[in-house]
Chains A and B, each alone.
Chain A
């Protein structure tokens, strides 16, 4: 059973991803689409310690040459963030989701897509070469409430 946690305030600048308790670095994209109908899409894309680009399923694959880094946030800072934790072996039936350390029930779907921005070329508006293009941050819970009401909520 692998444990994947995402700690964030909804912005990519303040987003830390933990794998089995250790903070990852060098991530370029993470995509999770878990549904009660059995859908289990989990992909993580990262630059390895060897400089190569890897695409893995964090719950079923071994993360070769993955980069770990020192924790970014202090405890005080972490209080301002939300923590999403998924413990799974790759099967939806044995998957448990926690939000701020509390188990989440009634889930219909969990969708997370976070993508680091690409660096574009220089622009006439700045001398810097780093610009945000294509950054994605989307994370939603879809719950089923009493009476069969389906509702989608932002996670962070």
Chain B
């Protein structure tokens, strides 16, 4: 039974580790949940100012400043993965979520940068979003026994005008299914081990040897 407990504990630990948002936490830095570290762009050194040929760079229209969920970078167009940054994705998200119950501005959330809007729908996911944005998360959220474990991070949409909109997390059905499969597998393995150890039947009753020559 020690081995069984060890296997269950190890797999639970593995499950937690696989789903633990190390990047999100590490990007928060030492200033709480908001802010984070800027990308390490070297100010000096690297390309020499004198000599060589001049390379022309279009001035960036996108500002660089810290955001609650990490360092803001110029949006890259990607079809899959990453956060929704394009105008098209924004409209998709807006149609998916519908009209928010209220829009929170930095005036109501002082820790947020001035260009951030938070769409609050007044549901459980919105509560999780506020927890993430305010940095008031719990380690329980990263355990499969808590509903927050099965939700994504808040959805960040970078608008064309440079403002950022946060939408509530969505239920991650794939994570839920994976958890079910993993725990189901663990349960099945434990069941099989117990069944083999105890002979036929999950709980083996003691033999009635009252009529047998053996005792």
A contact set with B: CB distance below 8 Å: 12-17, 23-28, 47, 69, 72-73, 114-117, 124-126, 128, 130-132, 135
Contacts and interface: CB of A to CB of B under 8 A. Distances in A.
B203 A125 contact: yes
B207 A135 contact: yes
A118 B198 CA distance: 12
Among B204, B206, B213: residue with most chain A CB under 10 A: B213
Contacts of A73: 211
B contact patch SS:
loop
Given A13-B211, A27-B214, 8 more contacts: A13-B208, A13-B209, A16-B212, A17-B214, A69-B213, A130-B207, A131-B198, A135-B207
A47 B215 CA distance: 9
A77 to B, nearest CB: 9
Nearest to A73: B211
Interface residues of B, number: 17
Given A126-B203, A132-B198, A17 B213 contact: yes
A13 B212 contact: yes
Contacts, number: 63
Given A125-B203, A126-B203, A132-B204, A12 B209 contact: yes
B206 A128 contact: yes
Contacts of B214: 12, 15, 17, 27-28, 114-116
Given A131-B198, A132-B198, A132-B199, A72 B206 contact: no
A130 B213 CA distance: 18
Contact of B213 (A23, A126, A132, A135): A23
A16 B198 CA distance: 24
B194 to A, nearest CB: 8
A27 B213 contact: yes
Given A131-B198, A132-B198, A132-B199, A12 B207 contact: yes
Given A117-B207, A132-B206, A135-B207, A15 B213 contact: yes
A129 B114 CA distance: 69
A47 to B, nearest CB: 7
Contacts of A24: 213
A91 B29 CA distance: 87
